[in-house]
Amino acid sequence: MAKKKVKKAKAKTKAAAKKVVKLKAKKPAAKKAVANGLPRPSGKPFGQAGKALDGVKILDFTHVQSGPTCTQLLAWLGADCIKVERPGVGDITRTQLRDVKGADSLYFTMLNHNKRSITIDSKHATGKQILDRLIKHCDVLVENFAPGALDRMGLTWEYIHKLNPRMIVASVKGFGPGPYEECKVYENVAQCTGGSASTTGFRDGPPLVTGAQIGDSGTGLHLALGIVSALYQRNRTGRGQRVLCAMQDGVLNLARVKLRDQQRLKHGPLTEFSQYGEGIPFGEATPRAGNDSGGGQPGWILKCKGWETDPNAYIYFITQAPVWEAICDLIGKPEWKTDPDYAKPPARLPRLKAIFATIEEWTMTKTKFEVMDLCNAKDIPVGPILSMKEIAEEPSLRKTGTVVEVDHPTRGAYLTVGNPIKLSDSITEVKRSPLLGEHTEEILTKVLGYSAKELAEIKTSGAITPPEKPAKAEAA
Ligand code: COA
């Protein structure tokens, strides 16, 4: 009996030892699977493991350009972007600058790819209930209404945060807190108040706005970074936060080199500005510098062959110091390499206008593309002025997906700018913009879980349909 007990006990100990061994053997494998607390690297080939922002749900209350730029970027990166639009009206840009009768404008289609559209009257009682469900469902609410408009809909930060403490509420406004915070703002207002216009143009001309939409699209881009950062922080804190990008701030951020120059003025003239070489005194503020380079290497726009008839037969030419000797040889001025008036950068500064005039005599004998090829062979940085036509037709931009042709059910094929941010494991597919309210039913039933009966009630409530026009009085 006693022997049996001992045998049993020994067997138990052996089994326990085996278990321990088993456990010990498992540990390192588990460690391998979760390195630094992160999931194991995907075994799928690059580009086939989903998108960067898969699973992120955006309640998109944006309109016009700044907000839609932001949410389009997030949608390209994989977020499910649900665009809320006013029934029967939609984003105002759907009908602005229309080129094809009855179809959504390019203004709209080019800013709203990869999104779904739901129409909701946000001031209707039933509409508000639907919005509450969307707020609970989504991760981020993005809006760029006029100051106070979201609050007037009842969607204050406190209200949203109570419904969904994880919600990130991201806004574009014209100005941050201060004297102008209540103002409505469009692109050029931001360019003017953010320091861009006062520093753009020629010294003897008025301030100029630029063609690039640095106020709208630039701020949308800033906002997208703010949102992604807030999502990242939420992983740690578990709670959402407000993200604000003021257009004035966004433009100023892009014009920061001009604030740099403002402070340099205290210590003497800005020697790289052609104004210095022309002996024209500087005033109190950073002046407009024409086509002077914003950096430390002098540059200017020069005519090329055909400039008399082609408004874009020009090239930006940079006299970068390390390749100065190569420039001298190329333009047929080898004597400048040793001439004390030209050999060193400080000696050239007061002569920049004349130097560029001499280089231009050379560039005018070649097309802008010939200058590009000849200069780049010698590492001389130059930039041909490309027209939008040339950009649209450039095969390499089509190949990289920077310029994309998209089909659309009512307007047909059109060109658009694809995602300029290239990720090797999150490939962008540019999908057409949604028609107004195209996904209303789909979102109500499949995303928010309304039953067929509830859907019918919502439809008759008037919350998702345009208000009915009053019936015409019958002729007596
Ligand atoms: N249901 C019901 N009402 C809706 C709605 C919906 N789905 N969507 C919008 N509205 C209402 C708003 O509540 C607001 O009403 P309210 O003023 O009575 O409160 C109204 O539509 C208009 O919104 P608003 O933002 O004032 O539009 P606007 O056309 O008058 O102004 C801007 C346009 C761009 C000037 C302004 O929105 C703005 O300054 N935005 C911030 C800065 C910005 O992004 N500017 C650049 C745009 S590219």
Ligand 1 atom closest to the Cα of residue 67 is 44
Interval between CA 136 and ligand 1 midpoint (Å): 23
Band of pLDDT at residue 34, cut at 50, 70 and 90: low
CB 65 near ligand 1, within 6 Å = yes
Question: Is 261 assigned a catalytic role?
Answer: no
Q: What kind and span of H or E run contains 157?
A: helix 157-163
Q: Per-residue pLDDT for 365 more than 50? A: yes
CB 304 within 8 A of CB 368: yes
Cβ 230 under 6 angstroms from ligand 1? no
Per-residue confidence at 470, pLDDT binned at 50, 70, 90? low
Q: Is there a contact between 319 and 297 (Cβ–Cβ < 8 Å)?
A: yes
Residue 128 Cα distances to 5, 125, 134, 135, 463, angstroms:
74, 5, 10, 10, 9
**Which residues are registered as beta bridge partners of 143?**
61, 171
Find residue 173's DSSP bridge partners. 246
Q: Is the CB of 93 under 6 A from ligand 1?
A: no
pLDDT band at 475 (very low <50, low <70, confident <90, very high): very low
Alpha-carbon span 236 to 243, nearest angstrom: 17
Q: Coil, strand, or helix at residue 301? A: strand
pLDDT at res. 38: 83
Provide the 8-state DSSP code for 40: P
Report which ligand 1 atom has the smallest distance to the Cα of 86. Answer: 7
| 382-384 vs 80-85, strand pairing mode | unpaired
Residue 390 CA from chain centroid, whole number? 23
Q: How far apart are CA 463 and CA 476, in angstroms?
A: 34
- Do the Cβ atoms of 113 and 69 come closer than 8 Å? no
- Using DSSP's 3-state secondary structure scheme, residue 412 falls into coil
**pLDDT, tens only, 159-186:** 999 999 999 999 999 999 999 999 999 9
* Ligand 1 pocket mutation, candidates 184, 244, 464, 465, criterion most atoms within 8 A of CB: 184
Report the C-alpha gap between 301 and 26 in whole angstroms. Answer: 67
Instruction: Give pLDDT tens digits for 373-426.
Output: 999 999 999 999 999 999 999 999 999 999 999 999 999 999 999 999 999 999
Instruction: Categorise residue 283: left if φ over 0, alpha if ψ from -120 to 50, beta otherwise.
Output: beta
> Stretch 65-86: mean pLDDT, rounded?
98
Ligand 1 pocket, mutate which of 91, 122, 130, 145 (most atoms under 8 A from CB): 145
User: Is the distance from the beta carbon of residue 143 to the nearest atom of ligand 1 less than 6 Å?
Assistant: no
Minimum-distance ligand 1 atom for the alpha carbon of 174? 42
- pLDDT value of residue 21: 42
What's the gap in Å between 56 CA and the centre of ligand 1?
A: 25
Among 60, 91, 104, 216, the active-site one is 216
Q: CB-hemisphere CA count at 13 Å for 308?
A: 3
Q: Tens digit of pLDDT for each residue in 441-464?
A: 999 999 999 999 999 999 999 999
Amino acid 31: pLDDT:
47
Half-sphere exposure of 337 (CA within 13 A, CB side): 14
